[in-house]
Structures are given as C-alpha cells and as structure tokens.
Structure 1
Amino acid sequence: MTSGTEHLVVERVGATLVLALNRPEAKNALSLPMLVGLYDGWLEADADDSVRSVVLTGAGGVFCAGMDLKALAGGGRMAGDHYRARLKEDPDLHWKAMLRHHRPRKPVIAAVEGHCVAGGTEILQGTDIRIAGHGATFGLYEVRRGLFPIGGSTVRLARQVPRTHALEMLLTGRPYAAEEAARIGLIGHVVEDGAALDKALEIAALINANGPLAVEAVKESVYETAGMTETEGLRSELERGWPVFDTADAKEGSKAFAEKRPPVYRRA
C-alpha cells in the first residue's frame, strides 16, 4: 500500500481507494508531490485486485484550483523539487497523474467540494462518475491568463458535454456553479455541501458489490468504442463482452441469484 506524499493522502475504505489532494492552504493547486502521489495511487489501484473502485477528492473543502500560478510566475518551478527525479525518469508522469495519458481500469469517482477549476476541471474530465457539493465551482480559466488548457479539455470536453457548452466554457473562462455544471452534463450529482465524499462512497459501494471483471470490461468497452461507428462499436462490444459470460464470476452471479444470496466474486 502506498503511503502517499505530503500533498496526496491515500486511504482505504473497504474495497475503495480514496485519493485526497492535500494542499488546502493553496486550494490544492497542483504540485510535484501531488502529481507523483496521484500517479502512484492510480498504479496501486490498477495493481491491487482487492481494490474495486477509486474516489478522488480534495482536503479542506476544496477539490483543485489547477496549476500553481504563483510558483509559475516565480520561475516556473512547483514545490517538491526532490520529486524531480521521478519526472526525469518518466517525463509523461504529470500527464498520467492528471488522467490525460492514463486511464485506470477501475472506476474513478470524483467527489468535489469548493473550487474545481482550470487543472481541476481538466482532471475531472478523466474521471468516470462525478459528484459535487452545492457550493462547488467549475471552469476552465486558462484563457483568462493567456494560457491554453492543455490537460485535454479541447479534446475531451466537447465529447462529454454539448459542443456549444464546451466552447462557451473554454472560450469565456467563466465560472460555473454546480447546478449549471450538472445541467450541461459535466457532473452527475449535486449534493449538500460536505456530502460529496459520502455520496461518492455510496456509489462506490454499489460498484464494489458487482462482478469486478464485468465492471472493468464494461468501463473499457464504453471508452474503447467512443470513437467508433455504431457498427464497429457493436462488433467490439461483442468481442469484449462475450468472454465475461465464460468466467466463474458470471456463473457465481447466476447461482447466487437463484439461491437468493449475495454473490462472492473472485475475479475468475
């Protein structure tokens, strides 16, 4: 089990791995310790078969305010220089941490409170299910600073929300309240402030009770077929879906249903 870093707290709640961005004094602005901890967390979730889901959240009532602009203005170096060896070993590490160049095979649920802007909204687009407190704020502020949202938003956002909303968010750099973010489809649930993590863990528990091989295959199929034609996608779905029916877990699911008991899945 990874111990996280000074800017990334790792906690296990049942079969869910909870990753908490932990730099509240800077609104959880991205830092090297945070990025290294995030990437290690994604790798741990992928490698540990007892982990069925991941929840990404932020400490101190804030999700993430994006890049550390103060550090950038001061010379372009973020806190945590002793982590630079990791970045030198893998120059793509920060993009993997931000879910730009890495997709965990386990479902990732975002639990958002407070600011989730710029790089925070970019990381959000790499998650699968999204819950926010009523007072959460979203937005891609980069153009306001003469910057480019290079964390994937010019590609992903218009695939996740209608293009007119994506372009408005990208080109105006304005903030979006949680209710508006839900209305355009950026997030799925709005809850009372302080309740996002509880709701995320509630959804995670529902996922964790399901067959893990089936869950992972379903997630992969959704992303794998996103850029295909319907005919190609349906063909791909059969190729990925049929093998699931041959697993011991599939047989256990049917047997448990017939015996009116909870299934015991063994990833087999």
Structure 2
Amino acid sequence: MGPSGGTEHLDVRREGATLVLTLNRPEAKNALSLPLLVGLHDGWLEADEDDTIRSVVLTGAGGDFCAGMDLKALAGKGMEGEQYRDRLKADPDLHWKAMLRHHRPRKPVIAAVEGYCVAGGTEILQGTDIRVAGESATFGLFEVKRGLFPIGGSTVRLQRQIPRTHALEMLLTGRPYTAAEAASIGLIGQVVPDGTALDKALAIAEQINACGPLAVEAVKASVYETADLSEEDGLKSELERGWPIFATDDAKEGARAFAEKRVPVYRRV
C-alpha cells in the first residue's frame, strides 16, 4: 500500500518506514481547513492500516506548524474545500479524529514544529507522542483571548502532560510561549536550531523504525492504557501487554541478532 494522495492542504510522503504528513496551507500559517482535516484523518488511517509504516512525522510547510482553526471560516466567511463536505456528513467525528482528539494512532507520532504552533496547533500537539521544535517556534492556547474555548481536548489533556499550574497559566492567559519555555514546562521534548526540527524528527523516527514494531506498538499502547490507573492495576495491565511480546518470532530474532552481532530483521510475527 503506497502513500495516499493527501489533499490540497495536506501532503503525504514516505521516508523509508516513516509516513510524513505535512500541513500545507502556508499562506494561512497552516490554519485548519476542511481539506487539511480530511487529509490528516486519512493519513492517520493509512498509518494504522499499513504495516510497512512504523512511525509518523507530523510537520508544517512554509516555516509554521499550525495556527489553529481558521477564524475567518468560524466567523462565517465560508470554509474552503466544500467538495469534502460529504465526508463530514458521513462521519461527524472526522475533525476530532483528524486532530487526534478522538483517535490515537497505534504507531508512534513525532511532531516537528517550526514557527507558529498555537491554539488548535497546540491542541493537535497534545495528541502526538514525541515533540521537537525549532528555537523560534511559538506555542500557546489563545482561545480565551478570542472569547473561545480550547475544545480540542486541552482542558483535559494539558494538565495530564505538564504540571497543572503551567497548564492553567497557558489556558487562562492565552499568552504565547517560546520553544525554550515550552521545553522547560515539558510540553515539548527538544529544542533544535531553526529549520532542523524535521531532520531531528526523522532521525528519531529512524531509531524507532529500527526497533521491533510489535514491541514498539505494545509499549506505546501500555503507556497510554496505564496512565490513569493505580500503580497496582497499571502493573497488571503492563503484563497483559508485555508478556505476549516475548513469545513472538520478532523477540527471538532480536535475541539472535544480538548474539550474532548483526542488524535484526523484524517481520511483525
């Protein structure tokens, strides 16, 4: 299964075993449009369904990640891509899945952020697993400054991902955050020189792709499944996810390759 065609606002390409999804509406700082949301939705499904894809990198074109929802469209100016309206009618949840509010991809998702990553951009960010940003990137949840509510999941997720005092400050002030500050509160993992976030994300993806895919997917699932459990229940859940991995051919191949001092060849079995 090859990469899908994406849409006019969402580019899809392969880099080895990594699917790269690029928000491509640079004239609007990649603000969310219907074609962009449909493309994202289909990209996540492609990654889930294609076993040759081992990781996903999400980035933006033109030096920005995503400036959030298109406020002009929200004000009644019309949404581009009316030809996709039937997709929304068929699945009224499509936009929430696209924004990773109601969908968690089973493959690791790495965000490569440059420029603006604000409002809906910061909300999508919270659905990704690993986050890298250029040093001039800007983050923030600006909704309250516009009299709006960050309904993409931020009042729930942000306090689970960073300390509550920082989450509330970001949510209630609507102020911008630098990449350095975002890293200091744990919203992103690494700050890199401007223009290199995608390269760094692809390098991390390559490290993930070299690992056993069944193990990687089980580890990711276990982390999220146990996040809100007691330690006792979480440890039980971990065994249920983890023990079957030891019985796979891939686990045996990993041990053999180590003993034989060679690169393992994993076959997802």
Counterpart of 2:122, as a letter, is T
1:37-116 paired onto structure 2 within 5 Å: 37-75=39-77, 77-116=78-117
Structure 2 counterpart of 1:16, from 12, 15, 18: 18
2:159 is the counterpart of 1:158: yes
Counterpart of 2:131, as a letter, is R
Task: Find the counterpart in structure 1 of residue 27 from structure 2.
Answer: 25
Task: Find the counterpart in structure 1 of residue 37 from structure 2.
Answer: 35
Counterpart of 1:223, as a letter, is Y
Structure 1 vs Structure 2 CA RMSD: 0.6
Q: Partners in 2 of 1:102 and 1:138 — Cα distance?
A: 22
Post-superposition CA distance 1:226-247 (Å, at most 9, x none): 1100000000000110000000
Q: Partners in 1 of 2:119 and 2:218 — Cα distance?
A: 31
1:1-12 paired onto structure 2 within 5 Å: 1-12=3-14
2:248 is the counterpart of 1:242: no
How far the C-alpha of 1:79 sits from its partner, in A, is 1.2
2:233 is the counterpart of 1:222: no
Q: Partners in 1 of 2:263 and 2:10 — Cα distance?
A: 35
Alignment coverage as a number of residue pairs: 267
2:206 is the counterpart of 1:205: yes
How far the C-alpha of 1:214 sits from its partner, in A, is 0.1
The list of structure 1 runs, each at least 4 consecutive aligned residues, that deviate by more than 6 angstroms after superposition, is none
Q: Partners in 1 of 2:76 and 2:58 — Cα distance?
A: 29
Post-superposition CA distance 1:77-105 (Å, at most 9, x none): 32111101000000000000000000000
Secondary structure, aligned partner of 1:67: coil
How far the C-alpha of 1:74 sits from its partner, in A, is 3.0
User: TM-score by structure 2 length?
Assistant: 0.99
Identity of aligned residues (%): 81
Task: Find the counterpart in structure 2 of residue 130 from structure 1.
Answer: 131
User: TM-score by structure 1 length?
Assistant: 0.99
Post-superposition CA distance 1:210-235 (Å, at most 9, x none): 00000000000000001100000000
Counterpart of 1:65, as a letter, is A
Task: Find the counterpart in structure 1 of residue 179 from structure 2.
Answer: 178
Q: Which blocks of at least 5 consecutive residues in structure 2 are unaligned?
A: none
Post-superposition CA distance 1:6-34 (Å, at most 9, x none): 00000100000000000000000000000
Q: Partners in 1 of 2:167 and 2:8 — Cα distance?
A: 34
Secondary structure, aligned partner of 2:199: helix
Counterpart of 1:4, as a letter, is G
